[in-house]
Amino acid sequence: MEFFLCVIGMVMIIEGLPYFAFPEKIKSWLEKINEIPDRALRGFGFVLMLTGLLLVYLGRVS
């Protein structure tokens, strides 16, 4: 559980960095997301999840 909390904390730090460092660019980028089709966003999210799963698997095996 301790390791899990550390991982969640690190993810939150990495996710928060762009909002802290470039708030004006994030706002314009978020407006552009509306133009991307749902299917493309869903595919991108799926690829990210598979990549994360692979990284977790590789981290646990080695």
- Which phi and psi (to 5°) does residue 22 adopt? -135, 60
pLDDT score recorded for residue 56: 86
Note if the pTM is more than 0.95.
no
C-alpha angle 48-57-14 in degrees, rounded to nearest 5: 45
In whole angstroms, what is the distance from residue 14 CA to residue 17 CA? Answer: 5
Task: Assign 3 a pLDDT band (cuts: 50, 70, 90).
Answer: confident
Task: Assign 60 a pLDDT band (cuts: 50, 70, 90).
Answer: confident
pLDDT (tens digit per residue) in 13-52: 999 999 999 999 999 999 999 999 999 999 999 999 999 9
